[in-house]
Chains A and B, each alone.
Chain A
Amino acid sequence: MRERWIPSAVLAALVAATAAAVALALLVISVGAPPTQADSSQEAEMRAIARELACPVCQGLSVADSPSPLAAEMRAVILQKLDQGETRDQIIAYFVDRYGESILFSPPKRGFTLLIWWVPFLALAAGMAIVGVCLYHWLRAGRAHRPGAGPGDGPGAGVEAEALRDPELAAYLPRLEAELRRWREATR
Chain B
Amino acid sequence: MDLGLADAGLIASFLAFSLAIYQLAATIVGYRWSLPALLRSARNAALGNAALLLYLVLTLLVALERHDFSIAYVAEVSSRSMPWSVTVTSLWGGQPGSLLLWTCGLAVFSAVAVWRAYRDAPALAPFAGATLAAIQAFFLFLVTFVSSPFTRLPVPALDGVGLNPLLWDDGMFIHPPLLLTGFMSFSLPFAFVVAGLLAGRLDRAWLARVRRWALVAWGIQGAGLLAGMWWAYHVLGWGGYWGWDPVENAALLPWLCATAFLHSVQVQERRGMLKAWNVALIVAAFALSIFGTFIVRSGIITSVHSFALSAVGPYFFAFLGIVLAGSLGLLLYRLPLLRSEGEFDTLLSRESSFLVNNLLLVGIAAATFWGTVFPALSEALRGARVAVGAPFYQQVNGPLLLVVLLLMGLGPLLAWRRTSPGRLWRLLRWPLATWAGVSLVLLAFGLRPGLAAFAFGACAFVAVATLLELWHGAAVRRRSTHEAWPVAFWMLMARDRRRYGGYIVHLAMVLIAAGAIGQASFQQEAATTLPRGGSVAVGRYRLTFEGLFERRLPDLDIVLAHLRVQQDGREIALMEPERRTHRGWEQQPTTGVAIHTTWPWLDDLYVLLTGWQADGSATFRIIVNPLVSFIWLGALLFLAGTLIAGWPERARLARPAGRPSMAVVPARGPSLQPAAPEVVLSDA
Give the interface of A toward B (CB within 8 A): 4-7, 11-12, 15-16, 18-20, 22-34, 36-39, 43, 47, 51-52, 54, 58-62, 65-67, 72, 100-107, 112-113, 115-117, 119-120, 123-124, 127-128, 131, 134-135, 138-139, 141-142, 145-146, 151-156, 176, 179-180, 183-184, 186-188
What are 24 inter-chain pairs, A to B, with CB distance below 8 A? A5-B423, A19-B464, A23-B438, A30-B442, A31-B442, A38-B526, A43-B526, A54-B389, A62-B389, A67-B608, A106-B388, A116-B386, A117-B396, A124-B359, A127-B362, A131-B355, A135-B352, A135-B355, A141-B343, A141-B344, A151-B418, A154-B420, A184-B679, A188-B679
0 or 1 for each of B499-540: is its CB under 8 Å from A? (1 = yes): 000000000000000100010011011111000000011111
A119 adjacent to B370 (CB under 8 Å): yes
Q: Is B452 an interface residue (CB 8 A)?
A: yes
Q: Which residues from B are CB-within-8-Å of A119?
A: 370
Partner of A23, one of B205, B441, B651: B441
A59 adjacent to B303 (CB under 8 Å): yes
Taken together as a complex, chains A and B put the C-alpha atoms of A154 and B526 apart, in Å, by: 55
Contact A29 to B343, CB < 8 A, known contacts A59-B245, A131-B355, A134-B355:
no
Taken together as a complex, chains A and B put the C-alpha atoms of A38 and B601 apart, in Å, by: 21
Of chain B, the residue at the smallest CB distance from A46 is: B527
Q: Which residues from B are CB-within-8-Å of A37?
A: 536-537
Interface footprint category on B: 35 or more
0 or 1 for each of B529-568: is its CB under 8 Å from A? (1 = yes): 0000000111110000000000000000000000000000
Q: Which residues from B are CB-within-8-Å of A43?
A: 526-527
Q: Which residues from B are CB-within-8-Å of A39?
A: 524-526, 538
Partner of B382, one of A105, A112, A179, A183: A112
Q: Which residues from B are CB-within-8-Å of A47?
A: 525
Partner of B370, one of A22, A113, A120: A120
Taken together as a complex, chains A and B put the C-alpha atoms of A33 and B475 apart, in Å, by: 41
Q: Which residues from B are CB-within-8-Å of A139?
A: 343-347
Q: Which residues from A are CB-within-8-Å of B355?
A: 131, 134-135
Complex interface residues of chain B between 321 and 380 (CB less than 8 A to chain A): 340, 342-347, 352, 355-356, 359, 362-363, 366-367, 370-371, 374, 378
B434 adjacent to A29 (CB under 8 Å): no
A100 adjacent to B245 (CB under 8 Å): no
B420 adjacent to A151 (CB under 8 Å): yes
- The segment from B35-43, B84-92, B236-244 that touches chain A is B236-244
B415 adjacent to A154 (CB under 8 Å): yes
Q: Is B681 an interface residue (CB 8 A)?
A: yes
B603 adjacent to A29 (CB under 8 Å): yes
- The segment from B44-52, B171-179, B309-317, B425-433 that touches chain A is B425-433
A103 adjacent to B540 (CB under 8 Å): no
Partner of B684, one of A38, A104, A176, A187: A176
Taken together as a complex, chains A and B put the C-alpha atoms of A118 and B348 apart, in Å, by: 31
Q: Which residues from A are CB-within-8-Å of B238?
A: 61, 65-67
Q: Which residues from B are CB-within-8-Å of A6?
A: 426
B417 adjacent to A120 (CB under 8 Å): no
Contact A154 to B423, CB < 8 A, known contacts A7-B468, A20-B437, A188-B208:
yes
Taken together as a complex, chains A and B put the C-alpha atoms of A7 and B426 apart, in Å, by: 9
Q: Which residues from B are CB-within-8-Å of A176?
A: 684
Of chain A, the residue at the smallest CB distance from B427 is: A5
B430 adjacent to A34 (CB under 8 Å): no
Main secondary structure on A side of the interface with B: helix
| Minimum distance in angstroms from B526 CB to a CB of chain A | 4
Q: Is B170 an interface residue (CB 8 A)?
A: no
| Minimum distance in angstroms from A169 CB to a CB of chain B | 12
The 8 closest A-B pairs by CB, nearest first: A154-B415, A105-B389, A142-B343, A120-B367, A138-B344, A38-B526, A141-B343, A19-B434
Taken together as a complex, chains A and B put the C-alpha atoms of A72 and B460 apart, in Å, by: 41
Q: Is B103 an interface residue (CB 8 A)?
A: no
B438 adjacent to A22 (CB under 8 Å): yes
Taken together as a complex, chains A and B put the C-alpha atoms of A107 and B266 apart, in Å, by: 40
B205 adjacent to A4 (CB under 8 Å): no
Contact A34 to B528, CB < 8 A, known contacts A113-B378, A151-B420, A180-B684:
no
| Minimum distance in angstroms from B125 CB to a CB of chain A | 15
A155 adjacent to B476 (CB under 8 Å): no
B518 adjacent to A30 (CB under 8 Å): yes
0 or 1 for each of B598-634: is its CB under 8 Å from A? (1 = yes): 0011110000101000000000001010110000000
Q: Which residues from B are CB-within-8-Å of A58?
A: 304
Q: Is B482 an interface residue (CB 8 A)?
A: no
| Minimum distance in angstroms from A127 CB to a CB of chain B | 5
A5 adjacent to B426 (CB under 8 Å): yes
Q: Which residues from B are CB-within-8-Å of A18?
A: 464
Of chain A, the residue at the smallest CB distance from B680 is: A188
Q: Which residues from B are CB-within-8-Å of A11?
A: 471
A19 adjacent to B366 (CB under 8 Å): no
B304 adjacent to A101 (CB under 8 Å): no
Of chain A, the residue at the smallest CB distance from B419 is: A154
